[in-house]
Chain A
């Protein structure tokens, strides 16, 4: 922990970065994001199994970006990121939302996080994204801390759920999602926590014409959740923040994960893994499948 704090303090003191986006401890089993501009505050930085938030979401926020520009120079933003959060940062760089040179990635060898604050760290309480995780070491970083440790083993419940849903017929699946989406209260927490939902003005906020009804009745909820999932297909890096943020416990990442599987099958593409490959939906290949077209 001291390594991280000292490193962050040095970065701030040498004015290499304008701010450090990191985690601070709230209670024993809960952390929360903190944006540090004062070197003295770096003593609050922590990294542990309770660092659930995907801090990449802050990189596109105007108020955080404005910290980068001072009178005489432009500085970087330093961010404490888990290897999976680095995927989100990569996706943001690919989509030209931030430049690689503008972000200083402080990452860790990661062996998983808990599914929710307040849980003990063990196989039963492992976050869903960690169960299937293949990147325990970050793919891109400017500084890395922590030692490699074994991730606890756990069963993949969300994959089981997907397989179970696929066995149902269309009508049953529709009923399942209708009842799940019915719970939606349109607080848009899923949108707020998603690092890739960076649009200045979301399509659902546009009133003329209103494509997505703002009412949270069945019809409005259905179109919002479909459009959200579609806008993230081929882009979602699977950080699972939407699931965690949803106050109504709608299994949002189920659809995201299923679409990611589809994308991998169709285009052999996984979002946020490489800075060299172009984005999926922003590009095309003349050899793409023509299967669904008559």
Chain B
């Protein structure tokens, strides 16, 4: 394993119209929050398929945040209402098969709530640090880490990926 200090990897799926704008506001307001979260922007919280979250865990995420517009604020009128029902079930399902509840968190953050965005990210990061690395799921990647030992090294993967992307 790496000698570096372990830093959690968190993926946030956020909706384009509210939470992403909220994140923008947090940035322009120069609010500080932990840098462990990678944001993936989707058009609506109703468009996030649960397989996205499983995939995130498969690829080494320690936690996932799903965030959208407040109820009644959806850009598409009802996207978040549909999502709410589904997430409620999915959260219960993951809990039953043994994935800690805090690994997957949800929030409603509007475009004007830059402060809330920073607070939520801070809270989620804190929760995930408390839970530690998501070993149970990542152990299922064991074979990869023996063939490609560098996978075990924290952070290396992203660097390789980014280099690939920028160098063409």
A contact set with B: CB distance below 8 Å: 165-166, 170-178, 203, 211-213, 217-219, 222-223, 226-227, 229-230, 233-234, 255, 258-259, 262-263, 266-267, 280-281, 283-286, 288-294
Residue of B with least CB distance to A294 = B107
Measured between C-beta atoms, what is the minimum distance from A142 to chain B in Å?
33
Contacts A203-B51, A294-B120 given: A175-B93 contact, CB under 8 Å? no
User: Do A258 and B96 touch (CB < 8 A)?
Assistant: yes
User: Which of B88, B108, B141 makes the CB contact (< 8 A) with A289?
Assistant: B88
Residue of A with least CB distance to B139 = A218
User: Which of A172, A227, A281, A292 makes the CB contact (< 8 A) with B106?
Assistant: A292
Interface flags for B29-58 (1: CB within 8 Å of A; 0: not) read: 000000000000000000001111011001
Residues of A within 8 A of B152 (CB): none
Residue of B with least CB distance to A265 = B92
CA distance A186 to B98 in the complex (A): 22
Residue of A with least CB distance to B135 = A171
Residues of B within 8 A of A234 (CB): 85, 89
User: Which of A213, A259, A284 makes the CB contact (< 8 A) with B93?
Assistant: A259
User: Do A174 and B97 touch (CB < 8 A)?
Assistant: yes
B115 at the interface (CB under 8 A from A): no
User: Do A170 and B106 touch (CB < 8 A)?
Assistant: no
CA distance A213 to B51 in the complex (A): 11
User: Do B136 and A171 touch (CB < 8 A)?
Assistant: yes
Contacts A173-B97, A229-B93 given: A286-B88 contact, CB under 8 Å? no
User: Which of A219, A230, A259 makes the CB contact (< 8 A) with B140?
Assistant: A219
CA distance A290 to B68 in the complex (A): 13
B90 at the interface (CB under 8 A from A): yes
CA distance A288 to B88 in the complex (A): 10
CA distance A178 to B138 in the complex (A): 12
User: Do A286 and B72 touch (CB < 8 A)?
Assistant: yes
User: Do A176 and B58 touch (CB < 8 A)?
Assistant: no
B105 at the interface (CB under 8 A from A): yes
Within 8 A of A (CB), among B87-119: 87-100, 105-108
Measured between C-beta atoms, what is the minimum distance from B109 to chain A in Å?
8
CA distance A285 to B84 in the complex (A): 10
User: Do B88 and A294 touch (CB < 8 A)?
Assistant: no
Contacts A284-B78, A293-B108, A294-B123 given: A255-B97 contact, CB under 8 Å? yes
CA distance A234 to B92 in the complex (A): 12
Total number of B residues with any Cβ neighbor in A under 8 Å: 38
Contacts A293-B107, A294-B105 given: A284-B97 contact, CB under 8 Å? no
User: Do B105 and A170 touch (CB < 8 A)?
Assistant: no
User: Do A294 and B108 touch (CB < 8 A)?
Assistant: yes
CA distance A280 to B84 in the complex (A): 12
Residue of A with least CB distance to B102 = A170
Residue of B with least CB distance to A259 = B93
Residues of B within 8 A of A212 (CB): 51, 54
User: Told that A266-B89, A284-B81, A288-B85 touch, could you supply 16 new A-B pairs with CB distance under 8 A?
Assistant: A172-B98, A174-B136, A178-B98, A219-B140, A222-B140, A223-B58, A226-B50, A229-B97, A230-B50, A234-B85, A255-B97, A259-B89, A262-B89, A281-B89, A286-B71, A290-B84
CA distance A155 to B78 in the complex (A): 44
User: Do A218 and B93 touch (CB < 8 A)?
Assistant: no
User: Do A266 and B97 touch (CB < 8 A)?
Assistant: no
CA distance A255 to B94 in the complex (A): 10
Residues of A within 8 A of B107 (CB): 293-294
Residues of B within 8 A of A288 (CB): 81, 84-85, 88
User: Which of A170, A171, A227, A233 makes the CB contact (< 8 A) with B89?
Assistant: A233
